[in-house]
Structure 1
């Protein structure tokens, strides 16, 4: 038997709870893992609270991240005793995920735990930090360099935003953080933000073009915020878009793209090729100040997940939530 967060749905609606399950209920897969840690991401919050159409079949164990030790393997990627890491690939949505003491998955989805990180540190980073690194890499490949000017990070208090600030600042960029929480300014400055602006300046409907301000941007918000970020990005700048906290719509104009040559770079972390994943984690090992992990993340037990998911959806959670699934 093992404990897991289970999301169920019936005529009375959707609910999530901690349940004890028999290992025979695990889904198909060629690698079985004794999970050590998982995380609580925005997508997990949507799934657990039912506030978004994330879950594609019921019952579902949420958790888009996991790290743990292989107990059984019929895949060449790993052997029993290996410590492995998983981000994305639809786990927690269409395949049982990491918010459980055991998981069974496709070995193609796994990478070895980077030697630079402990299991808990890897989950403090998780999909949020990995996605932030993909965004930074995309801006670099576009040619955005620190000498070109300010780089904006929206949704700055969230997991992706927190890591994007820390990574960009350490790489020498002048980072401007956008947030709606005035109480978090010192936190963002400690991560490396040189300036903090109110998200209200970006979140309302705006003009097709505004004053050129950003050499580049990392946006995890979407909707009007993303449209306004594009409208105020400098000539030949780039915006890496990876989230939809404000909305999935894009109420913008083609003007920034055809008059200023701005590039909108879509960042998918779910089905990213293995080589990209390994490169991103190698870059995290090199470029992330691990001392910041204690500031960015906090740890909870499996029994706290449902309550904290509700807080996350209400905007009451800063940074990352690491889940010790064995307590």
Structure 2
């Protein structure tokens, strides 16, 4: 069996220390030219390719970023992470994904344990930074044990949260807030302009800030005259929402779904329960790229996730380069109305 060459072997054959080899691997200028050339010659002769962990043995830098996401099956998260991966690869970083699946867990204690366990696992490994996308951090009331664990992580490693508003008790954590009011205002006013009078809002959960912001904007535009059903963020929840409306004989002429997934479920529910002749409008607060292949295409709002990924990469790279390390920001791009055939 061929022995794997390690950084220790390189140091031995180059007659130097492991720390000196590590400095050469990390392009540290504080190494004598003669020593550097000797180490490089041994590396070439032994055909040694250093892993990221080997590079970080001494420098503590691995060029790896831990990404904690609440549900990778959610189109928003998988689109966002795909863009992020492209951005960070250009800077020489790779992403290590931790999918908590907390968005699908009704048992809050189980969700809490999973997220805390992941944070503890991250602390035991040598990540250069931590990026948090969704999960318990997005709750209106965040558990104290969760906050204490996150504070502990942030004391050792740069942490960026994408989504929610700044939390003052997490002073060492950088927040990139997604503004929800502009996009929801745009799509709700479009429904009103199209002369829909009895609009129902379906989707989201009452315990999440994103739902609160979107519902509050919807209610403000519609003058608090319409029905709100908060049940979750998935297609089946849209279907269940229509079932509730039908079972309770609630009259409506349009549905505003919290996202395209819920809107898909709404469309199917209307077809199954009210038939092809039902004239009901359906729109969404958030566009996902798969919408292009829906029948009908859903009238929705593009939040420019690609730009969000660029903003996130910029903030995190500033942190890693120790510049502008305390700059929270609001992702506040001009949303784009996507006109489909669902109205």
- Give the TM-score normalised by structure 2: 0.31
Higher helix content, 1 or 2 = 2
In our comparison, the structure showing a higher alpha carbon Rg is 2
More contact order relative to length (CA 8 Å, sep ≥ 6): 1
- Give the TM-score normalised by structure 1: 0.32
